[in-house]
């Protein structure tokens, strides 16, 4: 009878074993959730860089086209006359697809016209800056 009692007591898990298993599962879950969270943030950063490149390409195309008829100096004057980043974005907007331009304009706060925003940029706390075009450089789209 003693052998029978001993075998019945070892059939299940002890409370300590259950707590250890639950703790390990909790730690692994936390690591997986953190990995997915970082992946989403990394994706937004990549999208932000791609958006910066798209706007820079639009600026480059606009400068090439506009300077053909007006010279580089005339292009610089027209670009700087736009006054702020939002106005400059709209100036070169013909070289962006319509949905991209609309997305930037819709997400950019007109009260802060020197920043260009998108949904991805807003979530990462970044913005695009299209500053003055200096005579010794080329117009740059900066990711801030």
Q: Is 60 exceeded by the pLDDT of residue 17?
A: yes
Q: Which residues constitute the domain of residue 131?
A: 14-143
- In the chain, the number of structural domains is 1
Tell whether 4 is covered by a domain: no
* Highest mean pLDDT pick, 5-9, 110-114, 125-129: 125-129
Measured CA to CA, the distance from residue 29 to residue 1 in angstroms comes to 44
Tell whether 5 is covered by a domain: no
Tell whether 55 is covered by a domain: yes
Measured CA to CA, the distance from residue 26 to residue 127 in angstroms comes to 37
- The per-residue pLDDT for range 127-136, each reduced to its tens digit, is 999 999 998 8
Tell whether 73 is covered by a domain: yes
Q: Is 80 exceeded by the pLDDT of residue 36?
A: no
User: Model confidence at 6, in pLDDT bands (50, 70, 90)?
Assistant: low
Q: Is 70 exceeded by the pLDDT of residue 3?
A: no
Q: What is the pLDDT of residue 116?
A: 93
């Amino acid at each position: 009878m003693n052998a029978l009692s001993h075998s019945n007591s070892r059939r299940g898990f002890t409370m300590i074993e259950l707590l250890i298993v639950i703790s390990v599962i909790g730690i692994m879950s936390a690591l997986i959730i953190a990995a997915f969270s970082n992946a989403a943030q990394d994706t937004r950063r990549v999208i932000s860089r791609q958006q910066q490149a798209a706007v820079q390409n639009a600026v480059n195309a606009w400068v090439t086209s506009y300077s053909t008829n007006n010279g580089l100096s005339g292009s610089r004057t027209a670009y700087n006359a736009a006054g702020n980043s939002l106005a400059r974005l709209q100036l070169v907007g013909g070289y962006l697809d319509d949905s991209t331009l609309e997305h930037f304009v819709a997400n950019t706060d007109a009260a802060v016209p020197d920043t260009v925003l998108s949904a991805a940029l807003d979530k990462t706390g970044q913005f695009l800056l299209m500053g003055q075009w200096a005579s010794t450089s080329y117009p740059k789209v900066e990711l801030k």
